[in-house]
Amino acid sequence: MKTGLDCIPCFVRQTLDASRKVTDDPAIHVQILREVLRWMGEMDLSLSPPVLAQRIHRRLRELTGIDDPYREEKDQHNQMALSLLPGLRAQVAASPDPLMTAAHLAIAGNIIDLGAKSGLDESEVHEALLHAAEKPLEGDLETFREEVAKAATILYLADNCGEIVFDSLLIEQLGPQRVTLAVRGMPIINDATLQDAVSVGLDKLVPTLGNGSDAPGTVLDDCSDEFKNAFESADLIVSKGQGNFETLSDCGKNIFFLLKVKCPVVAVSVGLPVGTHVLRRGRRFL
Amino acid sequence: MKTGLDCIPCFVRQTLDASRKVTDDPAIHVQILREVLRWMGEMDLSLSPPVLAQRIHRRLRELTGIDDPYREEKDQHNQMALSLLPGLRAQVAASPDPLMTAAHLAIAGNIIDLGAKSGLDESEVHEALLHAAEKPLEGDLETFREEVAKAATILYLADNCGEIVFDSLLIEQLGPQRVTLAVRGMPIINDATLQDAVSVGLDKLVPTLGNGSDAPGTVLDDCSDEFKNAFESADLIVSKGQGNFETLSDCGKNIFFLLKVKCPVVAVSVGLPVGTHVLRRGRRFL
Q: For residue B30, give how far its alpha carbon lies from the nearest alpha carbon of chain A (Å).
A: 7
Residue A63: partners with Cβ closer than 8 Å, 6 or more residues away: A23, A28, A31, A32
Residue of B nearest to A19 (CA): B5
The pTM (predicted TM-score) of the whole model is 0.83
- How many whole angstroms separate alpha carbon A276 and alpha carbon A135? 9
Contact yes or no for B16 and A5 at CB 8 A: yes
Which residues of A fall within a CB distance of 8 Å from B38? 37-38, 41-42
A9 neighbourhood in chain B, CB within 8 Å? 9-10, 12-13, 16
Residues of A in contact with B27 (CB under 8 A): none
Write the pLDDT tens digit of every residue in B132-152.
878 899 999 999 999 999 999
- CA-wise closest residue to A78 among A168, A183, A165: A165
- Chain A residue closest in CA terms to B45: A30
User: Is A193 or A133 the better-scoring residue by pLDDT?
Assistant: A193
Task: Give the nearest partner residue to A37 out of B6, B10, B41, using CB atoms.
Answer: B41
Beta pairing partners, B206 = none
Query: How crowded is residue B232: how many other Cβ atoms within 10 Å of its Cβ?
Result: 10
Collect all residues of chain A within an 8 Å Cβ-Cβ radius of residue B13.
9
Per CB distance under 8 Å, which residues of B are interface residues toward A? Answer: 5-6, 8-10, 12-13, 16, 26, 29-30, 33-35, 37-38, 40-42, 45
A160 DSSP assignment: B
Pick from B16, B30, B45: CB nearest A6: B16
Q: Which residue ranges of chain B lie beneath pLDDT 70?
A: 115-119, 285-286
Tell me the shortest Cα–Cα distance from B21 to chain A, in angstroms.
Answer: 14
More confident residue, A226 or B48: A226
**CA geometry: angle at A211 spanning A205 and A212, to 5°?**
135
Find, in chain A, the residue whose alpha carbon is nearest to that of B36.
A41
Name the E strands within A162-242: 179-183, 208-210, 236-240
What is the predicted pLDDT for the residue at A286? 43
Beta carbons of A41 and B45 less than 8 Å apart: no
B42 and A35: CB-CB below 8 Å? no
Q: What is the pLDDT of residue A77?
A: 94
What is the per-residue pLDDT across A42-67, written as a single tens digit (0 to 9) for each? 988 889 999 989 998 898 888 888 99
> Between chains, do A9 and B16 touch, taking CB under 8 Å as contact?
yes
Q: Given this model, what pLDDT does residue A118 score?
A: 58
Which residues in B lie closer than 8 A to residue A13 (C-beta atoms)? 9
C-alpha–C-alpha distance, residues B174 and A8, integer Å: 46
Q: Virtual CA dihedral for A166, A169, A175, A181, nearest 10 degrees?
A: 10
State how far the alpha carbon of A181 is from the alpha carbons of A114, A202, A226, B136, in Å.
Answer: 21, 8, 12, 57
Contact A157, A240 (CB under 8 A): yes
Distance between A249 CA and the closest CA of chain B, angstroms? 23
Using the beta-carbon criterion (under 8 Å), do A8 and B8 form an inter-chain contact?
Answer: no
Beta carbons of A261 and A286 less than 8 angstroms apart: no
DSSP for residue B280: E
CATH number assigned to the domain covering A71-281: 3.40.50.10880
Contact B158, B168 (CB under 8 A): no
A285 has pLDDT over 60: no
Segment A140-173, tens digit of pLDDT: 999 999 999 999 999 999 999 999 999 999 999 9
pLDDT at residue A126 above 90?
A: no
User: Would you call B41 and A38 a contact, using CB atoms and an 8 Å cutoff?
Assistant: yes
B18 contacts on A by Cβ (under 8 Å): none
User: How many residues are given for chain B?
Assistant: 286
Partners of A26 on chain B (C-beta within 8 Å) are 5
Nearest to A276 by CA among A11, A49, A284, A266: A266
Q: Are B115 and B243 in contact (CB under 8 A)?
A: yes
Cβ partners under 8 Å of residue B1, min gap 6: B48, B49, B245, B246, B247, B249, B250, B265, B266, B269
What is the average pLDDT score of chain A? 93
Each domain of chain B, given as residue ranges in start order, spans: 7-64, 71-281
CB within 8 Å of B66: residues ≥ 6 apart: B22, B23
Angle between helices B26-42 and B49-64 (to 10 degrees): 150
Of A121 and A173, the structure prediction assigns the larger pLDDT to: A173
pLDDT digits (tens, 9 = 90+) for B193-246: 999 999 999 999 999 999 999 999 999 999 999 999 999 999 999 999 999 999
Query: What is the pLDDT, as a whole number, of residue B286?
Result: 43
Beta carbons within 10 angstroms of residue B12's beta carbon:
24
Q: Rounded to whole angstroms, how far apart are CA atoms A43 and A104?
A: 36
DSSP string, A190-203: TB-BHHHHHHTTHH
Cα–Cα distance between B4 and B6 in angstroms, integer?
5
The Cα of A197 is separated from the nearest Cα of chain B by a number of Å equal to 35
* DSSP-H helix ranges across B65-162: 71-94, 98-108, 122-130, 141-150
Cα→Cα distances A111→A162, A190, B225, Å:
10, 12, 57
Residue from A148, A121, A134, A132 nearest A281 by CA? A148
Q: Is A283 exposed, middle or buried (0-12, 13-18, 19+ CB in 10 A)?
A: exposed
